[in-house]
Amino acid sequence: MSTLEGKVAVITGGSSGIGLATAKRFVREGAYVFITGRRQAELDKAKAEIGKNVTTVQGDVSNLGDLDRLYATVKAEKGIVDVVFANAGFIEHAQIFDLSEEHYDKTMDTDLKGVIFTVQKGLPLMTRGGSIIAVSSCLHSMGAAAHGTYSAAKAGLRALVRVWTQELKSKGIRANSLSPGATETPIIRGQFDSDEAADAAKKHFASLTPMGRLGRPEEIAAAAYFLASDESSFITGIDLPVDGGLAQV
């Protein structure tokens, strides 16, 4: 029997990329998943792909009212949460010379504030312990130009899981971060003005990665499954890099 059999998971940013791949893996391993995203059409498509044991809730993690609605739905349908996979993220390039307050606020609201309150608001439903997984990035430990705000937010997540490990240990809740490297997801295309520029960036990322390629969403999902399941029952407070060696050598 899978170690996620009968478990309930909340996955933010679950309509594409890493979030969708993780939702599929969790369901395959026996979990029921609640996935969120900002675009209803994408959520509907994801639900059809997942096929079973899934509820979609449209919303933006930076909006606390949307998070309240998410967990109200979870409480009404299942009454419990075992896994929180805080995955929703935003990335926009800006160097220190020209970054704006709008850029800063949008990045921090999604990548840091959104994760904090996704976790906080899920805790009352984690009555039988469980696993919190915050999706950070290999960039939390690298100095990549034009990624300052994003890297700061992701470094913040790494710090938070250390604190949460101490704060939540008495409740039987483990907290870890997961740090992907460059991964083949729609978020890469969203950072560039053209397909050609995105393709060039992918080639560049692959050249910097010791394994010589980008990661696949399913590879990140496998790591998420490990951290969510009892296979990692003696692991808490860590950051798990899944980056093909990008930030490791």
Q: Which range of residues forms the domain containing residue 176?
A: 8-242
CATH number of the domain that residue 214 is part of: 3.40.50.720
Q: What is the pLDDT of residues 161-172, one digit of tens each?
A: 999 999 999 999
- Specify if 248 maps to a domain: no
Cα separation, 34 vs 68, in Å, equals 13
- Specify if 128 maps to a domain: yes
- Specify if 247 maps to a domain: no
CA 190-191-196 angle, to 5 degrees, is 85
C-beta of residue 247 within 8 angstroms of C-beta of residue 211: no
- Specify if 80 maps to a domain: yes
Range 77-101 average pLDDT: 96
- Specify if 187 maps to a domain: yes
- Specify if 249 maps to a domain: no
- Specify if 2 maps to a domain: no
Specify whether the backbone of 53 is left (phi greater than 0), alpha (psi in -120 to 50) or beta: left
Query: pLDDT-derived band of residue 2, with 50, 70 and 90 as boundaries?
Result: low
Does the pLDDT of residue 202 top 90, yes or no?
no
- Specify if 229 maps to a domain: yes
Q: What is the pLDDT of residues 7-42, one digit of tens each?
A: 999 999 999 999 999 999 999 999 999 999 999 999
The pLDDT value recorded for residue 139 is 93
Tally of domains within the chain:
1
Q: What is the pLDDT of residues 172-200, one digit of tens each?
A: 999 999 999 999 887 776 677 778 877 88
- As annotated, the active-site residues are 150
Q: Calculate the average pLDDT of the chain.
A: 95
pTM above 0.75, yes or no: yes
